[in-house]
Amino acid sequence: MPELRRSCETRSVSLNGARLDYILKRSNARRTLALTIKGSGLSVNAPWRLPLTEVERFILYKADWLRVHLDAAKSVPAPVINWHEGMLLPYRGSQLRLCSLAPDGLGKMQDQRLWLPIKPGSTVQEAVLNWYRSAALVYFQARLQTFLPLLRRVPADFLISNAQTRWGSCTRAGVVRLNWRLIQAPDAQIDYVLAHELAHLAHLDHSPAFWREVARLYPDFATARAMLHQQGQSYHRF
C-alpha cells in the first residue's frame, strides 16, 4: 500500500477579471476534485498528480457557483461571542451553564452546569476551549471503545483535530482524528463521524464498499449524517 502523501499551498487564479486566492490541498488518497467554502475563503481538494491546469479549469467552470456562495459567505458576519460566566455552552446536543471557580478549584459538570477554574493570566475563552478539547478527547475515546469489537483493523492512534473544514480523518497508517468541535453535537452525530473514519481503516475511499462498512458499524448513519449537514455549521462558531 503506497504511503499517504499530502500537500497544502495557497494559490490564486483570475476569476472574472478578479484575483481569487484559494487553498489547494492535494492527497494521493483522493480521486476527485472538490470545492469547499469556509467563511469567505475557498479550499480545493485535488488528487495528488492532477495538473494545476485541470484544477484551475474546474474552478473557472464553477465560476458562477463560486460567485454566489462566496458573496453569501462574505455577507454573513462572523459571530461575536461574549465570553462570560453564566453563558450557555453547547455540549452533546444539550447546553451547560458556565460557572467559574477560583484558580485552584477543580472543574466538574453537575446539574447542567460546568464549574470551570479560570487561572491567573488566562481568559474565559481559553479556559472554555481547553476544556472542550479535553472533554472531547475523553468522550470520543469512550465512544471508540464501543466500536472496537466491530473492527477488522484497530486504529494505530486516535487524536483530536482542530481542522476548519473536516469533521474527521483517517490516514493510511491508521491514525484516526476527530474534530473537537463535535463534542457540541448530539451523540448520534458523533457516532456517525467516528464510524465514518473507522470505516476508512478498511476502505480509504468513498466507494460503495466503504459505505457498506459505515452501515455495518453504524446502521442509522444516514439520519445522523443528514442532521450533521444541517447543524454542523453552528459547531464552528468556536
pTM exceeds 0.85, yes or no: no
Percentage of the chain lying above the pLDDT 90 cut: 56
Confidence label for 19 from pLDDT (cuts 50, 70 and 90): confident
Question: Which pLDDT tens digit goes with each residue over 114-135?
Answer: 999 888 888 999 999 999 999 9
Confidence label for 136 from pLDDT (cuts 50, 70 and 90): very high
Closest alpha carbon to 73 in 33, 46, 45, 35? 35
Instruction: Give the residue ranges of DSSP H helices in 76-184.
Output: 124-147
Question: Which pLDDT tens digit goes with each residue over 41-94?
Answer: 888 999 999 999 999 999 998 888 888 888 776 655 667 889 999 999 999 999
Residues in contact with 80: Cβ distance below 8 Å, sequence separation at least 6, in sequence order: none
DSSP 8-state assignment for residue 20: E
For the chain, where are the E strands, in sequence order? 6-15, 18-27, 34-38, 41-47, 88-91, 94-101, 108-110, 113-117, 157-161, 168-170, 175-179
Q: What is the mean pLDDT of the chain?
A: 89
